[in-house]
Structure 1
Amino acid sequence: MTKALIAALPALALAACSFGGKPPKQLLALTPPVVQPNTGVPIDPARSITVITPSAAAALAGQRVPVYEGPNAFAYVKDARWIEAPARQFQLLLAEALRAKGGRLVLDARQTTVDPGQRLGGSLIAFGVDATTGQAVVTFDAILTRGVEASASRRFEARVPVGAIDARNSAAAIDKAANQVASEVAAWVG
């Protein structure tokens, strides 16, 4: 074999692979509240909070947008894909909502060199469209801990009318519901 053919083999092998079909026209994302630039808070472990990625059901583990068609059945919105899994997006949304409220140092779980302070985690129960009511629904079971003991827990839920169940309308309604839940969680955490 010639050197040119040997060099081309990896590219030919890669060209023969399929990476999951045709990509969507666009990816969907949540829009967090705006945190003003050049703002900060003092690093005070008593006032810091770490936001942990919530656990989520298998239906929410991927990037597709679920449509709940009843208590035991769901489908997905056609041609709709999140930019990343809902639980990770919701974690970032919660962190930004807490930052926007101000007065607290908000940490990511990967920032282990700073005292984590309180920890906010929980379970993302619903993050999609309820076809039976025509509403986007976001349900989050929050758990606030300090040290090894839970200090408080609470369920938050928001429902927003969707209109047509398509990528654009579903994403906008879910975004609005998720921001409402994040705002309520930030007020609850204080």
Structure 2
Amino acid sequence: MPPRRARRSGPLLAAGVLAAGLPLLLGACGGAVPTTFDLTAVPGAARSGPARRSIVVAEPVGLQPFEADRIIVREPGGSLSFLGGGQWADRLPRLIQARLLQSLENTGRLRSVSRPGDKVAADTVLVTEIRAFDIAAGSREAVVDISVKLVSEATGTVAAARVFQARVPVAAVDAGSAANGLDRALSTVLADIVRWVGAAA
């Protein structure tokens, strides 16, 4: 029986498509195949007013465990481990970068939103650090903690900085519950970042 996938209205739909194909490709190799989960961008909302700021979204940085595509569990003593049975659809920093970029684009309030390699002129760089993106096993919570800086492209000075956090209860410490909880927590953080960037613009 395949691993149970976390599903709600929309968030992990792409993950379900990815996960469905993996056993077909890798089943012959033997062993359990981890379910692949995606993360969700914040949907757009109708807004008025001119688009003013052009932003480059840098790939988030973080400690080595957050550089992988694995779901992380933090034990009460602070030790980190990888949760079996599940993985993200890409390296976590690149996946968060993509969803942050999409969330900002969805607002329709920015002249342009791009990656550093896109060679698009921008006045501001959005620099982020993943401080936490894991399941707290002791409290059974999905924890997302991301620090954000708006840096002037011309001068390199920090125009604004803030830390965004969210904690969401999870039903169990398993891959499906963890991915669902972390997706919900990230959605809260992304929505807060989008509002903050809009106010700073």
Residue 104 of structure 2 aligns to a residue whose secondary structure is: helix
- 1:127 paired residue among 118, 133, 152: 133
CA distance in 2, matches of 1:34, 1:97: 7
CA distance in 2, matches of 1:117, 1:21: 51
Q: 1:74 to 1:47 in 2, by over 3 A?
A: same
- 1:180 paired residue among 166, 188, 191: 188
- After superposition, the C-alpha distances for 1:51-89 in whole angstroms (9 at most, x for unaligned) are 111101111111111101035312221211111111111
- 2:33 paired residue among 24, 37, 61: 24
Aligned residue in 2 for 1:84: 90
User: TM-score scaled by structure 1?
Assistant: 0.79
1:165 to 2:173 alignment: yes
- The amino acid that maps onto 2:171 is G
Is contact 2:34–2:84 with CA below 8 Å preserved after alignment?
Answer: no
1:53 to 2:43 alignment: no
| Larger of the two Rg values belongs to structure | 1
Is contact 1:49–1:119 with CA below 8 Å preserved after alignment?
Answer: yes
Aligned residue in 1 for 2:42: 33
- 1:106 paired residue among 113, 131, 139: 113
RMSD (Å), alpha carbons: 2.2
Identify the range of structure 1 (72-81 vs 137-146) with the bigger mean alpha-carbon deviation: 72-81
Aligned residue in 2 for 1:115: 121
CA distance in 2, matches of 1:23, 1:116: 45
Is contact 1:93–1:179 with CA below 8 Å preserved after alignment?
Answer: no
Aligned residue in 2 for 1:136: 142
- The amino acid that maps onto 2:183 is D
- The amino acid that maps onto 2:180 is A
Is contact 1:118–1:145 with CA below 8 Å preserved after alignment?
Answer: yes
Q: 1:144 to 1:21 in 2, by over 3 A?
A: farther
User: TM-score scaled by structure 2?
Assistant: 0.75
- 1:97 paired residue among 103, 109, 124: 103
CA distance in 2, matches of 1:136, 1:31: 15
Aligned residue in 2 for 1:75: 81
Deviation at 1:96, TM superposition (A): 1.4
Structure 1 residues without counterparts, runs of 5 or longer: 1-19, 37-41
Residues paired across the two proteins, number:
164
Extract structure 1 runs of 4+ deviating beyond 4 A: 20-23
